[in-house]
Amino acid sequence: MLLSACLIVKNEALTLDRCLSSLRGVVDEIIVVDTGSTDDTIKIARDHGAMVTHFDWDGDFSHARNASLDLASGEYALVIDADEYLDEKQKEGLRTFLETNRPEALMIRQRNYLGQLSEIRSVLPLNVMRIFRSYHRYEGSIHEQISLSVERTKKPVAFF
């Protein structure tokens, strides 16, 4: 198995369907770690074939992220939030790139839209490490980071 999508969620019914739909044809499995949803989040995740598990929220984002990674079967993990999605351009060639280049991690371009949904004022592009070999683990309870684990390997990080 090449690629596992890993999410932590809580009450994400408004955005989760779009996120999970965007993963179709790219990932081999979807792991959803729920931290206490009271809306239709779990149903939506299961409707997309996700493996859903509960995590008792302890205030540490790394613990929750790592719980999702512990369940991943893929060689690589794609960590994505429920209010994010892969656009069609990002999906093109991603699997082939991973299979051909075998990087330790992959930086992808994330676009953050600033303003209100009714009026987007600007777009802030960022390069973020969201795909990496699934044995890495997050560090830091807030603003959790995977890059420290990846950097310790001294292996190449690619840009896609």
Residue-wise pLDDT for 29-51, tens only, equals 999 999 999 999 999 999 999 99
Residue-level pLDDT at 40: 98
Spell out the CATH class of 3-159. alpha beta
Rounded to two decimals, the pTM is 0.93
Is residue 101 predicted with pLDDT exceeding 80? yes
Q: Pick the closest to residue 17 from 52, 61, 47 (CA basis).
A: 47
Element (H, E) at 91: helix 88-91
Query: What whole-number distance in Å separates Cα of residue 113 and Cα of residue 53?
Result: 30
Q: Which residues contact 100 (CB under 8 A, 6 or more apart)?
A: none
Share of the chain above pLDDT 90, in %: 82
The amino acid occupying position 156 is P
Residue-level pLDDT at 121: 86
- Other Cβ atoms less than 10 A from the Cβ of 17: the count is 17
Residue-level pLDDT at 99: 96
Confidence of residue 60 (pLDDT cuts 50, 70, 90): very high
Share of the chain above pLDDT 70, in %: 99
Query: What whole-number distance in Å separates Cα of residue 102 and Cα of residue 134?
Result: 13
Is residue 117 predicted with pLDDT exceeding 80? no
Using an 8 Å Cβ cutoff, are 28 and 4 in contact? yes
Confidence of residue 155 (pLDDT cuts 50, 70, 90): very high
DSSP 86: -
Q: Which residues contact 152 (CB under 8 A, 6 or more apart)?
A: none
